Amino acid sequence: MKSASTDFPIPMGGLMNPPPKGTTKSSIPLRGRDVCPEFLPFICLLESYKTKFKNLHWAAINHPQHVVVGDFLADLDEFQDELAETGQGILGQFSANDITTEHISCSDPIDAIIYLKDAILEFHKCINTMPDCVGLVNSVEGFMTTVGKYIYLLRLAKK
């Protein structure tokens, strides 16, 4: 339902009216994967990159790289968890077998983080115009700052 004077959706019951009697917020169904079909595949891609960065952490060529990749892995894990939990609050809960991984073929941490950055930017484009995903957009934009920091730190660790 759209308002005549605005271009944004009006919540069930209108801005000033409560929802119909007997309706609770928890009984209003989540719109789920129709709203953001890219969400679950992106969470799966993050899981794949976590595996890649764990391998790169163990295969580091020096101690500084080992530390930086390990720190990035921890931040990536925290980002994925925040994004997944926030997204499930907006879009609906995952089932027990929804998260799958794919092989990421990359053996250099800087290349891997740049490929991940590109994937994050693509996901950002998908969700940036969805009003339901505003919290997700903020999380993604915040993590992009983190990615930039780690690109810098990985370049330093390589010297």
DSSP 16: S
Q: For residue 67, is pLDDT > 90?
A: yes
Domains within the chain, CATH numbers bracketed: 33-158 (1.20.1260.10)
Quick one: average pLDDT of 108-135? Answer: 92
pLDDT confidence band for 20 (50 / 70 / 90) = low
- The Cβ-side half-sphere exposure at 90, using a 13 Å CA radius, reads 22
Cβ contact 137:124 at 8 Å:
yes
pLDDT confidence band for 130 (50 / 70 / 90) = confident
Q: For residue 89, is pLDDT > 80?
A: yes
More confident residue, 36 or 78: 78
Position 141 scores a pLDDT of 95
The angle formed by the CA atoms of residues 50, 81 and 11, to the nearest 5 degrees, is 140
